[in-house]
Amino acid sequence: MHFQWYPGHMTKAKRMMQENIKLIDLIIELVDARIPLSSRNPDIDDLGKNKARLILLNKSDLASEKGNEEWKKYFEDKGFYVVKVNSKNGNGIKNVNSVVQDACKEKIERDRKRGILNRPIRAMVVGIPNVGKSTFINTFAGKACAKTGNKPGVTKGKQWIKLNKNVELLDTPGILWPKFEDQLVGLKLALIGSIKDEILNVEELALELIKFLNNHYKGLMEEKYTIPEIENNAFALQNVAESKQCKLKGNEPDLVKAANLIIDDFRNGKLGRITLEFPDKS
């Protein structure tokens, strides 16, 4: 499967990010807990050097708990602050505030030594498309938070959301472009739904998902779709089509419909909590 990304968008996103990063103390980076490495662009490490860093394992409700724990440790070992969250229902969000303070303790101390008291921490949310940036901002900020108006000088044109007396959040999230160099990364991004389905071959995608599930979550497909034990991925897709009454005119199995069904079930968590990649133990 081949994926393309548009260089024009990339350049613009990067320029915006470089400008906004100058204004902030802390980068809150969202990754998808099901594919924490494939859903991040490591260029942010260079762009964000000298800034406090917090990684949110978002959509942690859709990933396995074992996977979430392994990834939390993986990023913590690399020096990041990490919180597992579900931005949609708010799980884990209440921990973010205290971790933000912790992540910025050096800046707070530096300010204090210079006699600057109570200058709020300024943060920006970044992440690839569809990772949940807007959902997180809304949940984190809550309804009670008023947007502050434009400020003169450096922050001209920027909107800040005042979360409390200690933290302000830039209201426009930074878009990171996913890295497509590796086709496997592209495949995982497609599976979680961060590449438009129109440009994908859904049958091929579903076959890859079946292959992965059969290797790592043995028996799951058979149980969820009441199909015989999988020996061949293409047969499995056909079996799902039959079991779920996905039919074309003339009673032929509708493989595209079955493929869409499996992919949607995966994305919506109906197949259970599934992590698609684990930290490399080597």
Stretch that binds ligand GTP, among 67-75, 97-105, 126-134, 177-185 (CB under 6 A): 126-134
Based on the shown chain and the rule CB under 6 A, indicate whether residue 172 belongs to the binding site for ligand GTP. Answer: no
Residue 87 in contact with ligand GTP, rule: CB under 6 A:
yes
Please count the residues of this chain forming the interface with ligand GTP, following the rule CB under 6 A.
16
What stretch of H or E contains 57? strand 52-58
Residues contacting 115, CB < 8 A, separation 6+:
none
Which candidate, 52, 42, 50, places its Cα nearest to that of 122?
52
Q: Tokens standing for 277?
A: 């990649």
Q: With contacts defined by CB under 6 A, name the span among 5-13, 63-71, 125-133, 145-153 that binds ligand GTP.
A: 125-133
Strand bridging mode 167-170 / 160-162: antiparallel
Length of the chain: 282
- Does 61 interact with ligand GTP (rule: CB under 6 A)? yes
- Contacting range for ligand GTP; rule: CB under 6 A; set: 53-61, 63-71, 143-151, 204-212: 53-61
243 class by beta-carbon count within 10 Å (0-12 exposed, 13-18 middle, 19+ buried): middle
Between CA 10 and CA 14 the distance in angstroms is 6
| Residue 130 engages ligand GTP in binding (rule: CB under 6 A) | yes
Regarding 134 and contact with ligand GTP (CB under 6 A), the answer is yes
In this chain, which of 86, 214, 239, 275 binds ligand GTP, going by CB under 6 A?
86
Q: Using the minimum distance from each CB to ligand GTP, give the nearer residue, 91 or 155.
A: 91
The helix-helix angle for 233-243 and 255-267 (nearest 10°) equals 90
Which residues fall within 8 angstroms of residue 207, CB to CB, at 6 or more apart?
233, 234, 237, 259
Taking CB under 6 A as the rule, does residue 178 contact ligand GTP?
Answer: no
Q: Is the CB of 254 or the CB of 277 nearer to ligand GTP?
A: 277
281 is in an annotated binding site: no
Sites of contact with ligand GTP (CB under 6 A): 58-59, 61-62, 86-88, 127, 129-135, 175
